[in-house]
Amino acid sequence: MRRFDFLQISYMNPVNLNSADQANLGLARAHHWDAFHQAMRPRLGATAKFTREEPLAVKTTIRLGGSARLYAEPGSEEDMRLLLNAAAAAGIAVLPLGRGSNLIVPDAGVEALVISMAHENWAKFEARPDGAVWVGAGLRLKNLCGLAAKAGLTGFEFLEGIPGNVGGALRMNAGAMGGWMFDVVEAVQLITASGESRTLERAAMHVDYRHCAELHDAIALGALLRPSAHADTEAVGRQIDVYKKKRQESQPREPSAGCIFKNPPGNSAGRLIDQSGLKGERVGDAEVSPIHANFMVNRGAATSADLIELVRRVRARVRVAQGVELEPEVLLYGQQWKDVL
């Protein structure tokens, strides 16, 4: 396999470099991303997407941020393995991308290979004879609910309003309406950073509020789900409508990343922010939603810098007014919140 020398380039922010040196370093980095791209493209299946500088804002629900130095939509497990092995050999960080609903992409983009499960091969829904359902990581939760309702399966209705896919919902243990993704999971198939595919039983996994330890450094490929019971399609549809109505009344429709902060134990981040008088607070085009205070909406041209500044401001106000330190729930792509707050 061709050798890559990414590791020889420091990705730390260079200090004491004059502008000509910085420009040269930028060119050298671009050259190495290009080299990786050119070496890998012919090795991937014909239907795989693999691009340089892919804009990510349109792939997120809040619609802001820069591009991915490298972006792939693998069409098979083999594509996935090739990409992961090559990235590991080249010292390139890999970031999985779900439906981008819980994600803030930095304005400068991400120095990484972003892997998305958007290829149709990952959107499977297969009802098994024993009543379980196999779903691919790329299947949208909305479609999962619709297909389950059609098959007369109940227990997935709470997922309907979560604007994510199965992979992201597993990674974040997404939840709504009192239910969590892992409530309905029996087993997860994942691929490790070294390209090894494994299936883990639910009981062997460490799952918590908005967190799944096993998917920290691995990518979910699919899951075996267990519906709670069989019901008639109309009854499932009615339950979905109840949840939909509740969500539409209590959550904003403008572009957002869902709830920005985790709920502190026994409390509600939305209520705390609301009680601190922060609804409508704005930095640039990033605004604390007047409808639900734990949502920050993009009023049109918000940048990631605006959003981060608003997060900082809200945390500071809630700390002073309520004595509670809120922790972000959304991911800051390729970075740690503690490094920017």
The residues annotated as belonging to the active site are 210, 259, 329
> What is the strand order of the sheet 49-55 is part of?
49-55, 67-73, 110-116, 94-97
- Minimum distance from CB of 185 to ligand EPU (Å)? 17
- Minimum distance from CB of 177 to ligand EPU (Å)? 5
- Under the rule (CB under 6 A), what is the footprint of ligand EPU? 176-177, 250, 258-259, 262-263, 268-271, 274, 292-294, 329
Closer to ligand EPU by Cβ: residue 263 or 298: 263
- Minimum distance from CB of 35 to ligand EPU (Å)? 39
- Minimum distance from CB of 202 to ligand EPU (Å)? 21
Closer to ligand EPU by Cβ: residue 189 or 268: 268
- Cβ neighbours of 257 (radius 10 Å): 26
Q: Which residue is nearest to ligand EPU (CB)?
A: 258
Closer to ligand EPU by Cβ: residue 90 or 307: 307
Closer to ligand EPU by Cβ: residue 271 or 282: 271
